[in-house]
Structure 1
Amino acid sequence: MKTRNKNLFNLKPYWLALGVASSLVLSGCADDGKDGTDGVQGPAGENGTDGVSQLVTQQDVLKTNANIAYASYGDSLIGAISLKSALQALIENPTEETLNQAKIAWVESREPYLQTEVYRFRSGPIDALKDDGTMGEDGDGPEGQINAWPLGEAIIDYVANAVDGDPNPENISSTANININIIADSINFPEINKAILKDNFELNGDERNVTTGYHAIEFLLWGQDLNLDGSGGGPRDTSSGTRPVSDYYFQDNGHLGQCTSGAGQGSADETCVRRAAYLMAAADLLVDDLQRLVDAWNPSGSNNYYHSFVAGGDNSLAKILEGMGRLGYGELAGERMNIALLTDSQEDEHSCFSDNTHRDIYLDALGIQNTFLGQYTRIDGQLVEGAGIDDLLVVNGHAELANQLRAHLEDTMAKVRVIDVRAKSGLPFDNQIQLGINEPNITASINALVAQTSVIEQAITALNVATGDLCQDTEENIGNACN
């Protein structure tokens, strides 16, 4: 039996300490006394319900899903604001400690955001919300600015001259469309701000030329991960990028004449000033984009996406199921895991600078499971919980299918947890993919995601809704999960 915490949207000192309560309006989700499920709870085991409310409705599921979206995007915004504070501390006083604290803040900021990726692939705000606050088409939303990858490193800052046998890795001469470097070019870019970053995002229409979001900040904190590819007979080392803190030394923070662009590479003071400006502009833009998503999902907003989604009936239910399937199959199993495995390429690793890809994988999968169960654990430990897809399947006479999908999701989580644990134990994802295309833990995770997508297809049929093709987002040959 599941009940949503009636006070989980009330402001507490935890939020106030972060200084962002007024911008988030997190107290706006009014309690209707129903905890996300209408009707009377049935006794556990009665009529095969396993304690699920006999009167759980489709709209209960939609409300729970929307409330979780608001909470998880709210947590993402809180994390981004905390990250921005850590970046400011680094710029004002660049030391090994402040650089390390900024890295920790970046990693922590990713934890809630990655669980929101299940809200992609369904024409919602992340994919379709325009700058003016209206809903457009897929591609009009802020997702690319927030989380697109791989990054166009050479557009942003210095890159290595040779990596893994490539004489021009991600530098100006390696890609015809990359012919600028924002930090280095003070003539064409006398000022670095949010507008400059946005204007040069996906330069010349090339999706590789990403200049914003989490991964731009990641690159500016860690630098390129220049591990060996094993072609010389040895494995990659297990380190991430090694950008020196001296890349942020400049006169105003007490380091005149000590600016670098890489270890041992002296640079003009202006370069480090501009690098700091880029870092803060990227953080400002990230906060702006996440705030727009919070506003779109705010239950207290007027005429925003939250209300149209909750009132959307079968169309909204279809969006939930389509997002679950497409994230797991095409994006996670296909694009983020299988391509990296087959190519043994760090450039195809989602968080390649920080070696945080294991968390990308685990938390994406967790977001899918959260949606099925109708639950999400906030960054302060509070639980948002209500009616989930599992409940809806049961009350519509598909208890066996609900159990089957639950088992597949648990199996996937067990498989991706192995990748996560191995990385935390010292074998990051870029080392795991180097073990070969038959690397058992990664292939097992891919196969589990494919299998769960097949059962999501069955749930779509059982609930009699129409979705797009769950397998449309990858050309990888990972198995046919779609009808």
Structure 2
Amino acid sequence: LIDYVNVDTGNSADDFGDDQVGVTANAAGINGNGALTEADAEADSSNNIIGDSTITINAELLANTATADDEHDVIAGYHAIEFLLWGQDLNNNATITVPEDRTQAVKTHDATNLATGGQRPLSDFVSTTSNDAADRRHQYLEVAVDKLIADLQQVRDGWIEGASYRTAFTSVADENEAKQKLAEILTGMGTLSEGELAGERMQIAFSANSQEDEHSCFSDNTHRDIWLNAEGVSNSYYGTYAGYDSNLDGIDDVTTNAVDGYGIDDYLQDAGLTTLKSNIESALTETESAYVAIDAAARAGRPVDVLITEAKTSDNPMYPAIISLNSQSSLIQQIADELNLGSVVDDDASGCDTTDPSTEC
């Protein structure tokens, strides 16, 4: 929908089918706001926002993502920017990735271009005339980056001391309202742990050997996505934020906005639920060990799109990571059960059986 894609002709099992490159409908004006398929992409490489010079690239256009009927209709946010910068992650000789050609398709540590993401050519950004495809890519990046920054600023500003959202969330009139707020926090933690991260963002790609279904399929940055997603759950549990890792050595060295407050761990201790506290902290530690192993593998030349093609066993760091995320989600639900907060984990959120990472979703 955004720009041209390469698809494999005549192979219905390839990585670039309708599920990856198509949409059931769109609000950008392509095909009369109708569907776009793999066949459409193959037939006309300009049948997209970049290629259609009659479409104005502005904030209003990208705002359509928020009301899209199809979850594949993503034209704003990080992944849109990632796609424009890296392009598709094709195999070593720039031909199309297909399951039958896996040993050639993935970028291994010994490959000439190493284990890396997409290789969008610089020529895609060399404009020769106003509003040509290259010029429109520059326009798109500028608008998309501006929108992403504005969206992040809106979230940040909503949590500033005295901001309306923060005030509404942290103000409680009675015990029932306090329980509702805690249930919302646990729902976020439980949903991200199991349905979103373990299922949608990991097992779907892992179980099916589908490089195009990995989290950051263009940049091969999925190992960092997994780390930071999982760390976010841990931060919520402990009520801490150590800062960020500026040089990616595993240590949060920029601590300007570090937070260390009263966490769920403190509450469980005060409530006398020490066994449950110990169990969930053990699970969080196991998850950390797993995502650190995924990160280490990527640094050694085996990023996630390589790991998902390897054996689906406990020796593959993706496998224990999915298992441990499932375990911690169950323990998050146990917290809710102990406090009579109701269901906070949707077991069917992803359609994946995360107790068995090798099972396709």
Q: How does 1:391-470 map to 2 (within 5 A)?
A: 391-438=266-313, 440=315, 441-470=317-346
Tell whether 2:51 aligns with 1:213: no
Q: 2:123 aligned to 233, 246, 268, which one?
A: 246
From 157, 167, 183, the counterpart of 1:307: 167
- Correspondence 1:223 to 2:223: no
Q: Does the aligned pair in 2 maintain the 1:163–1:226 contact within 8 Å?
A: no
How far is the alpha carbon of 1:196 from its aligned partner?
A: 1.4
The aligned counterpart of 2:94 is none
* CA deviation string 1:333-386 (max 9, x = no partner): 111111111111112111000000111111111111111111002242242101
Q: Structure 1 residues 320, 200: closer, same or farther in 2, change over 3 A?
A: closer
Deviations 1:403-450 (A, max 9, x none): 221111011110121111101111010100001333632111111111
Bigger Rg, structure 1 or 2: 1
The equivalent residue for 1:477 is 353
**Which residue of the partner structure matches residue 44 of structure 2?**
none
Identity %: 38
Counterpart selection for 1:276 from 138, 143, 167:
138
Partner of residue 47, structure 1: none
The normalised TM-score by structure 2 is 0.78
TM-score (norm 1): 0.59
1:195-219, CA deviations, whole angstroms, 9 ceiling, x for partnerless residues? 112236675x221121110000001
What letter corresponds to residue 170 of structure 2 in structure 1? V
1:164 and 1:386, CA in 2 relative to 1: closer, same or farther beyond 3 A?
Answer: farther
Tell me the SS of whatever aligns to 1:209.
Answer: coil
SS in 1 for 2:259: strand
C-alpha contact (below 8 Å) 1:355/1:429 kept by paired residues: yes
Evaluate the alpha carbon distance shift between residue 271 and residue 163 of structure 1 in structure 2; reply closer, same or farther with a 3 A threshold: same
What secondary structure does 1:226 align onto? coil
Q: Distance in 2 between matches of 1:451 and 1:201?
A: 32
How far residue 232 of structure 1 moved from its aligned partner, in angstroms, is 3.0
- Deviation at residue 314 of structure 1 after TM alignment: 1.2
> Residues 164 and 308 from structure 1, CA distance in 2 versus in 1: closer, same or farther, beyond 3 angstroms?
farther
Q: Is 1:192 matched up with 2:57?
A: yes
Distance 1:424 1:332 in 2: 21
**Root-mean-square deviation (Å):** 2.6
Q: CA deviation at 1:173?
A: 9.1
Match of 1:296 in 2: 158
1:246 corresponds to which letter in structure 2? Answer: S
Alignment of 1:158-177 (within 5 A): 158-162=4-8, 165=11, 169=16, 177=35
TM-superposed deviation, 1:467 = 3.9
Q: Residues 318 and 245 of structure 1: is their aligned pair in 2 closer, same or farther, counting only changes over 3 Å?
A: same
Equivalent in 214, 217, 221 of residue 349 of structure 1: 214
Cα distance change of structure 1 residues 175 and 308 upon mapping to structure 2, 3 Å threshold: closer
Partner-residue secondary structure (3-state), 2:74? coil
Conserved 8 A contact 2:65-2:76:
no
CA deviation map 1:30-79 (0-9, x unaligned): xxxxxxxxxxxxxxxxxxxxxxxxxxxxxxxxxxxxxxxxxxxxxxxxxx
Asked whether the 8 Å contact 2:15–2:98 carries over to 1, the reply is: no
Q: Relative contact order (alpha carbons < 8 A, sep ≥ 6): 1 or 2 greater? A: 1
Deviates more, 1:284-293 or 1:419-428: 284-293
Query: What amino acid sits opposite 2:124 in the alignment?
Result: D
1:471 CA drift (Å):
2.1
Q: 1:193 to 1:294 in 2, by over 3 A?
A: same
2:333–2:344 CA contact under 8 A, matched in 1: no
Can you give the 5+ residue segments of structure 2 that lack an aligned partner in the other structure? 25-34, 41-46, 92-96, 108-114, 173-177, 245-253, 357-361
- Which contiguous aligned blocks of 4+ residues in structure 1 show a shift greater than 4 angstroms? 163-168, 170-176, 200-203
Distance apart, 1:157 and its partner CA? 0.9
Q: Residues 86-165 of structure 1 correspond to what in structure 2 (within 5 A)?
A: 155-162=1-8, 165=11
C-alpha distance in structure 1 between counterparts of 2:5 and 2:200, whole Å: 25
1:388 aligned onto 2:263: yes
> Using the alignment, how far apart are the partners of 2:191 and 2:48 within structure 1?
35
Deviation at 1:387, TM superposition (A): 0.7
Any conservation in 2 of the 1:328–1:450 contact (CA below 8 Å)? yes
Distance 1:164 1:423 in 2: 32
Residues 366 and 439 of structure 1: CA distance in aligned 2, closer, same or farther (over 3 Å):
same
Q: 2:132 is matched by which residue type in structure 1?
A: E
